[in-house]
Structure 1
Amino acid sequence: MTQTGDPLENTVAERANKTIKEEFTTDQQMSFNSLKNAKETMSKIIEFYNDKKPHRSLNWHTPNEAHQMNGLLQRQWKTYYKKQKKHDPIINNNV
């Protein structure tokens, strides 16, 4: 959880959580019979995500392939979130 509770403060972690929920779970909740089993399953998911799953935002490379590359990858995504200016009703209320 972020300090203010705003999911936009920690977008990378929020996106990873969404991917895990959407791609690695079914309609039923994942259930584990032990903490050890949960850690093993998450390790396998993370390994698959980093080593075997190509990402559109990485020009269809896996994260580990992109990490090993030299140079910059062209940005494949847009930023939609922008801080809005505070509305000052006194200044903007010219009646």
Structure 2
Amino acid sequence: MALKKKPTLNILIQHWDRGMQYCSFDYILRLKKAGVKISMTEIGDTYENAIAERINGILKTEFKLKRVSSSRSEALLEVTKSIESYNHLRPHMSCDFLAPAVAHITDVPLIKRWKNCRKKYKSLQKNN
């Protein structure tokens, strides 16, 4: 569907998490023939794609971006407004309940109020 709707002047990038269905020779050949740039997560890092998936999930659920837009310009406007709200208005647990834009300019040390699963995972790997 993306290849059919791809405007000729825009670059399309396919990013995935190395799932088997995306690594097939035929699939990669089709992307290359269509001029699509290929992006994959690093091998062995299960958490690399988690941040992008989390942000996509927030944008889809909290900002209602999973609905189909009537035009590309409408979709672009909605995504832009949502990202602005995400960065400038929405409080984040990882930023001591500040919006990221505010947290970025503060000199006060921030308390991260979420569990760091990645650190726990790495310590489990060292013990095994």
* TM-score normalised to structure 1 length: 0.70
CA distance in 1, matches of 2:68, 2:46: 25
Root-mean-square deviation (CA), in Å?
2.6
C-alpha spacing 1:61/1:48, structure 2 compared with 1 (3 Å):
same
Matched length: 85
Determine which structure has the larger strand proportion and give its number: 2
C-alpha spacing 1:16/1:37, structure 2 compared with 1 (3 Å):
same
Helix, strand or coil for the counterpart of 2:94? helix
Instruction: Pick the structure with greater CA Rg.
Output: 1
Give deviations 1:31-51, integer Å, cap 9, x for gaps. Answer: 111111111110000111111
For 2:57, the equivalent position in structure 1 comes to 18
1:75 to 103, 108, 112: 112
Percent pairwise identity: 37
Determine which structure has the larger helix proportion and give its number: 2
2:100 to 63, 73, 83: 63
- Could you tell me which runs of 5 or more consecutive residues in structure 1 were left unpaired when the two chains were aligned: 88-95
> What letter matches 2:80 in structure 1?
S
CA distance in 2, matches of 1:77, 1:41: 28
- Could you tell me which runs of 5 or more consecutive residues in structure 2 were left unpaired when the two chains were aligned: 1-15, 17-40
* TM-score normalised to structure 2 length: 0.54
